[in-house]
Structure 1
Amino acid sequence: MSSFPGILNSEWTKIRTVASTTWTLASALVVTVGSSAALCAVVSATLDDMTPQERLTFDPTMASFVGMTFGQLAMIVFGVLVVGTEYSSGMIRTSLAAVPRRVSFFFGKLTVATALALVVGLATSFLSFFLGQVILGDASVGIGGDNVLRAVIGGGLYMAMIALFSMGVAAILRGSVLAICMLIPFFLVISNILGGVPATRKWAQYLPDQAGAKIMQVVPGGMDGSTTTYGPWGGFGIMVLWTAAVVLGGYLVLKKRDA
């Protein structure tokens, strides 16, 4: 039976030698930083046109992270591919033959992939912040401002949780295509629609992406004008609970069903 360090090394080898997972991580960084910089440029050009209310609720830190909406899609694909590709290719049987203890195999895979997602997420978050603040000019804030560092680190944590959540869903569905077809519309369309409709907004704030995104907010109610009954860390805690439930579901499916 393989040792846990050996499992970690094996999973690291799988991820780094597959081009699709490497490119999706790179895409998460490039898309997030690029789209965030573009929005900050638009905001910088229209600062003088803001109403007093818009100026009061403007969150320059959050403005640097608007690209997370698109960058998280790459993280979703990364998370799904890490787990789902083994089912699609049939390699899951070989992996489980090499590591019969399924709990070690599953959590070893998730540990390596989540660590990679966190590293890329933190790099993305810091690059987005510093580039965005340069573009915002006089409207910018420093990393030492109140709650700013928490928000920047939180951006990396958010992206890591998105990837881990996606891994759990892929494990439950035992494949890549269905998981991607469910997750991308959910995060990109359904969650935003529910959050934008007054009748469903009070429930939508507890969805994993909307709750987790609050950790990147410095000005309460800033940018989108919405307020919640929980704070930044409370919102991230809700996202962690969602993710833990999905990961547990994925493990139970792997444990109970044949490969």
Structure 2
Amino acid sequence: MTTTTTPPLPLTAATEPRPRFVDLVAAEWIKLRSLRSTPWALLITTLAVVAFNVGEAYDTYRYWSAEEADEAGHRARFIRDGIPLQEAFTTNATMVLLLAAGAFGALAIVGEHRSGLIRTTFTAVPARRSLMAAKALVVAAVTAALGALVAGTSFWLTQAILSGKGAGVSLGHPGAWRVVVASALLAPVAALAGLALGALLRHPGSAVVAAFVLLVLLPGVLSDDRHWSAVAGHTTPYQAWLRLVETGAPATPFPWTTGGAWLVLALWPPLAAAVAVLAADRRDV
């Protein structure tokens, strides 16, 4: 008598184990960091944002007159008016960070659609929601690190420059931590908004332009002169950042609280990520 052995059956889609979420995160991280443009985009953004802030502080240092340097009262007024914190992270630097982070998030998904890699990805991982959630988490983590780097470096360098005239402040100064944290949060907020727009539009030019309109142009159009316009403007990340970094009472006919501004920055990331997940799940490739 002879015995025969039955070869093992190949794994099919029904029997193949579902990928763990941590595996999806690792795969998305590998895809993102393997792109040649990723380190260059992060480096150029960091240098540009820090340069805008340092340049503003250096101009103050350079044109500080000898009479002002000898006057202790002038330095006290300079600090009391919150100018060191205003120069720690300027509006120009904020615009650059919003645009760069928004474009980074949009291209993280649009690039896959343009190259056709997204079809392979969805074929390998049919669980689109989990896949897009992993991509959103990776984009948020990378840009959060970017935001922390540019905000912390900008604060340290600008205050070091201003300290040459005795006008720098430390992180323990009232409002300093608020400026640093609010500025750092702008990067992941803008990146996830860009990711959501990229998942909806699936075209690089359209997604980047939409990110510019949503993050930069719209907050400037919505003025504080009318109640509805002021309330709508308060829901944008840029105006939330302005509220958090300003010193003194808000000079607006429709003021709002710092708690409301923090809430705006806290709600944008999960809402944008949800839009990106649903857009990928409900639309054909």
TM norm structure 2: 0.79
Verify the 8 A CA contact 1:64 1:128 in the aligned structure 2. yes
- Separation of aligned partners in 1, 2:45 and 2:255: 28
Larger relative helix fraction: 1
CA root-mean-square deviation: 2.6
Q: How do 1:97-116 residues align onto structure 2 when only pairs under 5 Å count?
A: 97-116=123-142
Name 1:182's counterpart in structure 2: 210
From 70, 73, 82, the counterpart of 1:58? 82
Name 1:258's counterpart in structure 2: 284
Name 2:239's counterpart in structure 1: 210
How many residues end up aligned between the 2 structures?
Answer: 253
From 21, 24, 28, the counterpart of 1:11? 28
SS across alignment from 1:198: coil
- Separation of aligned partners in 1, 2:88 and 2:52: 9
Verify the 8 A CA contact 2:186 2:237 in the aligned structure 1. no
Identify the range of structure 1 (103-112 vs 163-172) with the bigger mean alpha-carbon deviation. Answer: 163-172
Name 1:127's counterpart in structure 2: 153
Q: Structure 2 vs 1, CA of residues 221 and 69 (structure 1 numbering), >3 Å: closer, same or farther? A: farther
TM norm structure 1: 0.86
- Separation of aligned partners in 1, 2:128 and 2:118: 11
Q: Structure 2 vs 1, CA of residues 203 and 220 (structure 1 numbering), >3 Å: closer, same or farther? A: farther
Question: Share of identical aligned residues, percent?
Answer: 24
SS across alignment from 2:126: coil
Kindly indicate whether residue 103 of structure 2 is the aligned counterpart of residue 74 of structure 1: no
Q: Report the Cα offset of residue 76 of structure 1.
A: 1.2
Kindly indicate whether residue 165 of structure 2 is the aligned counterpart of residue 146 of structure 1: no
| Rg larger in structure | 2
Q: Output the amino acid matched with 1:24.
A: A
Verify the 8 A CA contact 1:76 1:163 in the aligned structure 2. yes
From 32, 35, 45, the counterpart of 2:52? 35
From 23, 28, 36, the counterpart of 2:40? 23
Note the residue ranges of structure 2 that are not aligned, 5 or more in a row: 1-17, 69-73
Off by >6 Å, runs of 4+ in structure 1? 52-55
From 114, 125, 132, the counterpart of 1:88? 114
Q: Structure 2 vs 1, CA of residues 113 and 47 (structure 1 numbering), >3 Å: closer, same or farther? A: same
Name 1:160's counterpart in structure 2: 188
Q: Output the amino acid matched with 1:12.
A: W
Note the residue ranges of structure 1 that are not aligned, 5 or more in a row: none
- Separation of aligned partners in 1, 2:120 and 2:96: 35
Q: Report the Cα offset of residue 89 of structure 1.
A: 1.3
